[in-house]
A and B are shown apart, each in its own frame.
Chain A
Amino acid sequence: MTRLRAGLLALAMVLGLALFAAACGGDDDNDGGGSPASKDNVDLTQGKDVTIAVITHGSGDSFWAVAKKGAEDAGKQMGVTVKYSESANDPQKQAQLIDSAVTEKVDGIAVSAPNPDAIRDSLKKATAAGIPIVTLNSGAEDYQELGAITHVGQTESIAGEGAGQKLKEAGAKKLLCVIHEQSNIGLNQRCDGAKKGFGAVENVQVKGVDDIQTTLTEIQSKLQSDKSIDAVLTLNPDIAVAARDAVKGAGSNAKVATFDLSGDVVKAIQAGEIEFAVDQQQYLQGYLPVVFLTLYKTNANTVGGGQPVLTGPGYVTKDNADTVAKLAEEGTR
């Protein structure tokens, strides 16, 4: 009996120690808001002690990794603590993350709002607690009603229209629009916009960024079964690379265009394999909200004048791909 008790106690202590050790290892990335910034920014940050929560609906793919880098770089440069978290497209989780940010009494909340209804209540609580809000990436139509100071992003439907028009000008007759996230409203808006700008558009649902191989096969089979498709529009850089490979594999002449950049996409544009990329500059979507909220807190500045701050659409084509290439490699474009 005593042996069992002693064994249990030892096990509990080991577990506890292991967890404490792991925590001490992990704390280096984001120290608590109380520690002052480095000596370099002494003037800017003296007495700042500001924490900004950035809560997006991303799922760790290359698009959101750039936005995260933007937010973290802004935090370092402004001397504030940035807490970045993602809800992987689950609106309930996003609402819960906003609630916990309100509990922590952060100084500003930057959220993406693909599903404004779901986070409305949580954002009301944030406003009631006096926490300023900036929306980013999605929610351009609803940000004022949600109580945000401004919106940082690109209007999806207009960007979709622009992409559709560009492909039409390139001479394509039938467009395949590849939707990779089942319930992402913004993606559907892009394809609807492309339909407006192009005409004959067919949407196809694919597996997604978690399973690129299956996605590739799905696009390839679609191209093989419908030879009249001569343009493919993807909505994510990883899916764009898969589409390029699928076009090659199907032996098709379809032109590939995409939304959003990555290092591989820029290389493909330089090589002529992808026509253009519609760049919404998601680095800015992570960077600017942190700056705006910090300035609101420290200097009572409101940016935007009641209008959204647009970060796109910018087009990356063969002409400007070289400049962008180096930056995409570093994960900032």
Chain B
Amino acid sequence: MTEAIGGGSSAAAAPAGAPPTPEPVADERLANISLWVRLLRRPEVGSLLGALVICAFFWLNTDSFGTLSGIANWTDVASTLGIMAVAVALLMIGGEFDLSAGVMTGTTGLLLGLLTTEWGFSMWPAIVVTFAFAALVGFINGYMVIKTKLPSFIVTLATFFVFQGLNLGVTKAVTDTVRVAGLGDVPGYDSASKVFSNTFWSPHNFRLSVVWWIVIAAIATWVLARTRAGNWIFAVGGDANAARNVGVPVARVKIALFMTTAMAAALVGIMIALRLASVQAGQGVGEEFTYIIAAVVGGCLLTGGYGSAIGASLGALIVGMAFIGIQFSGWNTDWRFLFLGVILLLAVLVNNLVRHRAEGARR
């Protein structure tokens, strides 16, 4: 009691008009989540763990995996997968699938080849036309999905078959063979290669596509985490109706995502066409599932609304490391797919397990 009176008199002694400053009190409603748990809740954890284990495994078991040239080899494989995996991951977070993504890399490559070798375009105008074509195809895909309200799985499967047929039919009709060759002689080839497909760091020969991949993954991560468009993508994937009610332009977001996937396919198609100086009619068929797998390993839910571009990149990295790592180990390649399947299954399971445990320990 004495202290209260003492406190009161000292308060009265303070300057007249100033109100007593309240002491900061810890709000017991706010949980104090440690950095460790916050990191573990990220969707990329499973793929990061998987990538580290595989990397360590092959590094210790082979001579060449850990050398710079070896790293150049597996990042080369991972880069073209990774660019597509990031784009497909964005689309999956938005709640849709694009099964035509793989064959589009072939279609765009063939278009580039035919424009330059058969119809007289030089390289850079042909590249612009190819990107425009891809944007158009992406727009059509997205528009059909929105208008028909059919599952995107079905609509893009139809597009996939259409392009698979067109790839072979048009190539054969125009060139009488099943591939388009001779891109190396087209004016503009050298300058285009310097931008899209050359190597750098001479004895080790890292591919430029690796740089493109890192930049695209960084941009995608920034868009998802820091921009309004990223919020919209998560919202549209989580619950399109609720998003529409809140004012998110669902149709525009989905169409934009489809266009992004198609244009990423155009980028990869151009890279491969320039690297090989030729395009085969069957290019890319079957790869669409690899992109989806990389995205799922990286934490994307098949139902949408959750995922990460970095995770998809790590998923693509796992596929690249496994492919080249098995090469370097000299294992019987008959078992290659078995190994890949086991790794991917483990990565997805770890992802699930860690996420449940981290979300469960909400303290």
For the complex, is A221 an interface residue (Cβ under 8 Å from B)?
A: no
Nearest opposing residue in chain B for A30, CB measure: B330
User: How distant is the Cα of A101 from the Cα of B67 in the complex, in angstroms?
Assistant: 13
Which among A1, A183, A188 is the interface contact of B361 at CB below 8 angstroms? A1
Which residues of B, 339-357, contact A by the 8 Å Cβ criterion?
Answer: 339, 342, 346, 350, 353-354, 357
Contact check, B36 vs A118: say whether CB atoms are below 8 A apart. no
Contact check, A29 vs B332: say whether CB atoms are below 8 A apart. yes
For the complex, is A252 an interface residue (Cβ under 8 Å from B)?
A: no
- Pick from B57-65, B232-240, B309-317 the stretch touching chain A: B57-65
Nearest opposing residue in chain B for A104, CB measure: B64
- Pick from B129-137, B146-154, B277-285 the stretch touching chain A: B277-285
User: How distant is the Cα of A72 from the Cα of B61 in the complex, in angstroms?
Assistant: 22
Could you mark each residue 1-43 of chain A with 1 if its beta carbon is under 8 Å from any beta carbon of chain B, else 0? 1001101100110011011101100110111100000000000
User: How distant is the Cα of A84 from the Cα of B357 in the complex, in angstroms?
Assistant: 43
- Pick from B5-13, B73-81, B89-97, B155-163 the stretch touching chain A: B73-81
For the complex, is B49 an interface residue (Cβ under 8 Å from A)?
A: yes
User: How distant is the Cα of A7 from the Cα of B272 in the complex, in angstroms?
Assistant: 43
Nearest opposing residue in chain B for A12, CB measure: B49
Nearest opposing residue in chain B for A181, CB measure: B282
If A1-B361, A188-B177 touch, whether A117 touches B278 (CB-CB below 8 Å) is: yes
Residues of B within 8 A of A86 (CB): 333
Contact check, A4 vs B179: say whether CB atoms are below 8 A apart. no
Bin the interface of chain A by size. Answer: 35 or more
Q: State the Cβ distance, A225 to closest chain B Cβ, in Å.
A: 20
Contact check, A115 vs B53: say whether CB atoms are below 8 A apart. no
Residues of B within 8 A of A271 (CB): none
Residues of A within 8 A of B54 (CB): 19
Contact check, A91 vs B276: say whether CB atoms are below 8 A apart. yes
Which residues of A, 72-117, contact B by the 8 Å Cβ criterion?
Answer: 81, 83-86, 89-93, 95-97, 99-104, 115, 117
User: How distant is the Cα of A115 from the Cα of B183 in the complex, in angstroms?
Assistant: 13
User: How distant is the Cα of A91 from the Cα of B113 in the complex, in angstroms?
Assistant: 15
Which among A26, A84, A96 is the interface contact of B324 at CB below 8 angstroms? A96
Contact check, B333 vs A85: say whether CB atoms are below 8 A apart. yes
For the complex, is B329 an interface residue (Cβ under 8 Å from A)?
A: yes
Contact check, B36 vs A100: say whether CB atoms are below 8 A apart. no
Which among B272, B331, B363 is the interface contact of A30 at CB below 8 angstroms? B331
Q: State the Cβ distance, B114 to closest chain A Cβ, in Å.
A: 15
User: How distant is the Cα of A11 from the Cα of B346 in the complex, in angstroms?
Assistant: 11
Which among B61, B64, B205, B363 is the interface contact of A125 at CB below 8 angstroms? B205
Residues of A within 8 A of B50 (CB): 15
Contact check, B69 vs A103: say whether CB atoms are below 8 A apart. yes
Which among A27, A89, A100, A183 is the interface contact of B327 at CB below 8 angstroms? A100
Q: State the Cβ distance, B151 to closest chain A Cβ, in Å.
A: 24
User: How distant is the Cα of A96 from the Cα of B156 in the complex, in angstroms?
Assistant: 29
Residues of B within 8 A of A95 (CB): 275-276
Residues of A within 8 A of B82 (CB): none
Residues of A within 8 A of B205 (CB): 99, 125
Residues of A within 8 A of B208 (CB): none
Which residues of A, 283-309, contact B by the 8 Å Cβ criterion?
Answer: none
For the complex, is B168 an interface residue (Cβ under 8 Å from A)?
A: yes
Most buried by B among A23, A84, A97, A120: A23
For the complex, is B21 an interface residue (Cβ under 8 Å from A)?
A: no
For the complex, is B298 an interface residue (Cβ under 8 Å from A)?
A: no
For the complex, is B188 an interface residue (Cβ under 8 Å from A)?
A: no
Which residues of B, 176-194, contact A by the 8 Å Cβ criterion?
Answer: 177-179, 181-182, 184
Contact check, A84 vs B281: say whether CB atoms are below 8 A apart. no
User: How distant is the Cα of A18 from the Cα of B278 in the complex, in angstroms?
Assistant: 42
Contact check, B278 vs A115: say whether CB atoms are below 8 A apart. yes
Contact check, B275 vs A92: say whether CB atoms are below 8 A apart. yes
Residues of A within 8 A of B182 (CB): 117
For the complex, is A214 an interface residue (Cβ under 8 Å from B)?
A: no
User: How distant is the Cα of A205 from the Cα of B172 in the complex, in angstroms?
Assistant: 12
Residues of B within 8 A of A29 (CB): 330-332
A residues engaging B (CB < 8 A)?
A: 1, 4-5, 7-8, 11-12, 15-16, 18-20, 22-23, 26-27, 29-32, 60, 81, 83-86, 89-93, 95-97, 99-104, 115, 117-118, 120-121, 125, 181-185, 188, 205
12 A-B pairs with C-beta separation under 8 A: A4-B357, A16-B56, A19-B53, A30-B330, A89-B280, A92-B80, A96-B323, A101-B327, A102-B69, A103-B73, A117-B181, A183-B282
B residues engaging A (CB < 8 A)?
A: 34, 36-37, 40, 49-50, 53-54, 56-57, 61, 63-64, 67, 69-70, 72-73, 76-77, 80, 168, 177-179, 181-182, 184, 205, 272, 275-278, 280-283, 285, 323-324, 327-335, 339, 342, 346, 350, 353-354, 357-358, 361, 363
